[in-house]
Amino acid sequence: MKKSVYSIVLMDDVVEAIDTLAYSLNTSRSNLINQILAEKVALITPEMQMKNVFNQVEKLLNGYSHFQIQPQAADSMMSIRSVLRYKYNPTIRYAITLDRGHSQRIGELKMISRTQSDVLQNYLSQFFELWSMYEHQMQLPGWQMDQSGKWTRELMRQDEGRHDGEAIANAIADYIKAIDKGIKIYFEYNENIPYLNKELSTHYGQYLSQCFIRV
C-alpha cells in the first residue's frame, strides 16, 4: 500500500498517549496512528497481515517445548529460540522477516548462532550444505551464509492455491519445525555418516509429503 505525508492537528495529550503506547509496542507514532485509523475503517494494512501471520506461527509452535518465542524487534520480524543437543547446550535463533509486498517472495528466514566454537560452526555449515542440496533437487531456495556468519534462506511462494495469511503461517511453521528437527538429527548422528544421510533424507522426504504449501 502506498504511503503519503499528511498534516493533521492533534491534541498534545493525545500525542503523548500515542507516543507512550507506540513505545510499549516497539513501533513508531505514525505507524500506530495508521493502525488505529485502519482498524476504525475496517482496512487491513500490511502490518496487520504480518501480525496475523506471526500470531498464527506462534500458536503453531507453542506446543513444541524446545521452541521459545522471543519478543518482536519490529512489526515485520519474529524470532524463535531453540537449544541444540550438543556440548553446553548452545542456542540457535530463527529470525523471520516478512516483506510488505505481494510478490512471489514472502520474506526470509535466518538462522543465527552466537557460538564461538569453530567446531560447532563447521557442523552447522556442513548441515546447511547438505540440507540445501536436498532443497535444490526440489527446485527450492537453499541456504546461504552472509558476511556476518548468519545463514539465510528466502521464503518463496512455491505452490498454486492458497496464499492467505493462515496458509503462509502454516507453511513457515512447518518449515521451521522441519529445519530444526533436521539440525537435531545431524548433531545426533554426525559420527555415523551413512546412517545420518539415511535419517536426514527420510526426514526431509516426510516434510515434503506432509506440508500443504512449501516456502
Asked whether residue 183 carries a pLDDT value surpassing 60, the answer given is yes
Asked whether residue 159 carries a pLDDT value surpassing 70, the answer given is no
Which one has a higher pLDDT value, 192 or 89? 192
Cα 182 to its chain centre, rounded Å, is 16
The pLDDT, as a whole number, for residue 120 is: 87
Contacts of 67-70 spanning 24+ positions with Cβ under 8 A: 67/180
The pLDDT, as a whole number, for residue 81 is: 93
pLDDT category of residue 158 using cuts at 50, 70 and 90: confident
Mind listing the pLDDT tens digit for each residue in 25-46? Answer: 778 888 888 888 877 776 777 7
Mind listing the pLDDT tens digit for each residue in 60-76? Answer: 998 777 798 887 767 78
Q: Is the dihedral of CA 163, 165, 166, 172 positive or negative?
A: positive
Q: Is the dihedral of CA 17, 21, 24, 30 positive or negative?
A: negative
The pLDDT, as a whole number, for residue 70 is: 85
The pLDDT, as a whole number, for residue 166 is: 85
Which region among 40-49, 99-108, 132-141, 171-180 has the lowest average model confidence (pLDDT)? 40-49
The pLDDT, as a whole number, for residue 102 is: 67
Candidate ranges 38-42, 45-49, 58-62, 107-111; pick with highest mean pLDDT: 107-111
Segment 102-129 mean pLDDT? 87
The pLDDT, as a whole number, for residue 160 is: 61
Q: Which amino acid is at 161?
A: G
Give one word for 84, left, alpha or beta, with left for phi > 0 and alpha for psi -120 to 50. beta
- The domains found in the chain, sorted by start residue, are 1-43 (1.10.1220), 46-210 (3.30.1460)
Cα 67 to its chain centre, rounded Å, is 13
Question: If you average pLDDT over every residue of the chain, what do you get?
Answer: 86
Closest-CA residue to 141 (of 100, 177, 105)? 105
